[in-house]
Every structure is written in structure tokens, then in C-alpha cells.
Amino acid sequence: MKPITKTVWILSLVSLFTDIASEMLYPILPIYLKSIGYSILFIGFLEGVAEFVAGYSKGYFGNLSDIQGKRVPFVRFGYALSAISKPLLAISRMPYLVFFSRTLDRIGKGVRTGARDALLSEETTASSKAQIFGFHRSFDTLGAVIGPSLALIFLAIYPNQYIYLFYLAVVPGFISIGLTFLLKEKENQTKQTGKTTSLFSYLSYWKQTNSNYRKLVFGLLVFALWNSSDVFLILKAKEVGLSDTIIIGIYIFYNLVYAVFAFPFGILADRMGLKRMFLFGISMFIFVYWIMGTYQTVGWIVFAFFLYGLFASATEGIGKAWISNLVPSEEVGTAIGMFTGLQSFATFFASVIAGWIWFTFGAGVTFLVTGLFALLVWMYLYFIPIGER
């Protein structure tokens, strides 16, 4: 097993504190928005727009990072934008400010994603990519355990005082910014002279790259087109009749499962194959959405969130590791940036579609339709030959 380098540790800690800040707010955001009068349809549209903006910035800044031959400035600025967006939701309940805050947070994610993942990829080899990405995901998701736990404790002491949580989230956010100043740019980074980037120039990468990348990304994008925001899982738990405290507790449980299994699943994936592990993850997703669309009891909901944690552990970091193994190292920022960018565009439509189906036909149809399309993607990835490294 390749040792975990200093850069991987720093990036993992930065993600840890950023997620503590973000996840203090994420599980209570839809509940807060509903409490001040926003509809399910608006919440779905809000999440979709936020992901749409993130999608553009991921592709653009990932490509720009490769062209400039720099990673650290993008990582630092991206995390800073996300940190300063946290208290804005507490200032006003007006829709425009709600949109601005979520959009600023997602732009920050877009600025840093490609450059950060390229840094991670540079710290390992093709045979150990999954474990490094899995290690980072474990820390990232541990923040999603700590953050909601702090929110749960706070709301237990001060029920319904959501606004103060937005202010408290500033503290871990600024710790993460401080940690980014410990990162150092690699000396062997080279600027791609003669190349420029425009709003959507990174899309031309699709024609320039190899067939394995295109086949994999095509399947992942079809999946993303039906994989709506996690907000809908939270709202399903709310619809079953669970209290805000229990919902946050279940969300913490899901992230704990995710954090615990991400690193060992990464190690297993390097040994048994990235494709096999990824297909296992999609299988878990199919079961989750079948359960959510069929059952209404607390026990089944909790079990679904457990399986959802396994799904995330087996796909999120491993998918990026798989992509990074299919392209040259100097193109990783663009390759991952393009994928995550297009993935965000797909998630925009997925969230809007899910919101519309829920609004029109109810929660059960929403989850069952999503599970059906996930099954079709599983079959595509299983039967289509795609290289791993």
C-alpha cells in the first residue's frame, strides 16, 4: 500500500473542515426552506440551479488549471468562496439571496474540484488511485458526520433556531481556508503555452480524448441524469413522519457508513478492479430507490440510508480514480472537470425532473422511476468493455 503523502493529508483535512461547515446546514436546509414557505418544486429547482452553476465552473476551472499548470490557487480560492457563502442564508429570506448563497457555494466547489482531484491523482500511481481517492473521501465524509452531529446537538438545545447555525458554520469554513496555505505547488507543473480557454471550450476535450473515457463518462452521465439531489431522500424521510432530529440522525448515520467504507472499498477496488466495485455501488443505489419507492416504515428508511452509504463509498471516489487512470496526468484536471461539470448539468435536470414527478405523481413514482434507469446504467457498464488503467 502506497503511503499517504503530506499533500493528501492536507487536502483531506481541508475537505474535512469544509464538509463540517457545509453539512451543518445541508440536512436542515430543505427543512428550513419549507418552514419559511418554499415549496418542494422550488427546492428542487434551487438545488438544480446550484448544481448547474457548479457544473459550468467545474469544467471551466478544471481546464484552466491544466492550461496554467497550477493547482493550489484554484484549490485555495474555491474553498474560500464556499466558506464565505455560509452566513448569507441567515441575512435574508428573499429568494434572490437564497439563490446567491447556494450558487456561490457551488461556484467554490467548481473552482476547486478539478485542481484538487488532479493534485490527489499526482500523489499516487495507477495501481493505487482508488485507495487515495477513497482516503480523501473518508475524511470528506467524516465532516458530513461531525457537521450534522453539531447541528443535532445545537437544535436539541435551541429548537428551530436554524439561523444561528448558518453563522456557526463560518468557523470550520475559515479553518479549511487556513489549511490550504500549507499546500505547495509541484515544481514539475508545466504551463500549456498557446492554449486558451473560453466559457465552454473544455467541451472540445470530448473529441480529443480516448474511447474508454468517452464510454465511461457516457454511462456515468446517463446515471447522473436520474440521480437527483439527496434532498429528496431527506424529504422522503420527512414525509414518512420523522422528526427533524431523527432525520438529521439518519443523515449522520448514512455519512458515517460512507466515511467508514470509502477507504477500505478503495483498497478493495485497486485489488479486484474498479469496474466491479463501481457496479456493486450502483446495485446498492438500485436497492435504495426501490425501498424508498415501496416502503413507508422507519426501519426500511434507516436500512435504505445504510445501503446509500455503501453506494457512495463504492462510487464517488472510485469513479474519479477510474477516470484519472484513463487519461494522461497533464489532462486529469480537464478530464475530471469536464465529467463533474457535465454531471452537474445532468443533476440539474435530475433534480428538476424529480421535483416535477414528485409534485405530480408522488414520492413513490419518483424513486421507482429513478431505480429503473439506474438498472439500465448498471447493464450498460457491465456489458460495455471499458479499460481501468
Predicted confidence (pLDDT) per residue in 271-327, tens digit? 889 999 999 999 999 999 999 888 878 888 889 999 999 999 999 889 888 998 888
Query: In sequence order, what DSSP letters do the residues of 309-362 get, joined into one string?
Result: HHHHHHHHHHHHHHHHHTS-GGGHHHHHHHHHHHHHHHHHHHHHHHHHHHHHH-
Residue 178 CA to chain centroid, in angstroms? 22
Q: Which of 39-53, 151-165, 254-268, 367-381 has the lowest mean pLDDT?
A: 39-53
pTM of the model: 0.79
Q: What is the C-alpha separation between 253 and 17, in angstroms, rounded?
A: 18
228-239 mean pLDDT: 80
Kindly state the cell numbers that stand for 60. 471551466
Report the alpha-carbon distance of residue 61 to residue 59 in Å, rounded.
6
Q: Per-residue pLDDT for 151 more than 80?
A: yes
The SS3 of residue 134 is: helix
Using only C-alpha atoms, what is the Rg of the chain? 20
Q: What are the domain boundaries of the chain?
A: 7-183+213-383
Closest CA to 72 of 32, 34, 122: 122
Spatial contact of 161 and 155, defined as CB atoms under 8 Å apart: yes
CATH of domain 7-183+213-383: 1.20.1250.20
Backbone angles phi, psi at 296, to 5 degrees: -125, 10
| Number of Cβ within a 10 Å radius of residue 387 | 15
Of 9-18, 100-109, 310-319, where does mean pLDDT reach its minimum? 100-109
Q: Highest-confidence range of 92-101, 176-185, 221-230, by mean pLDDT?
A: 176-185
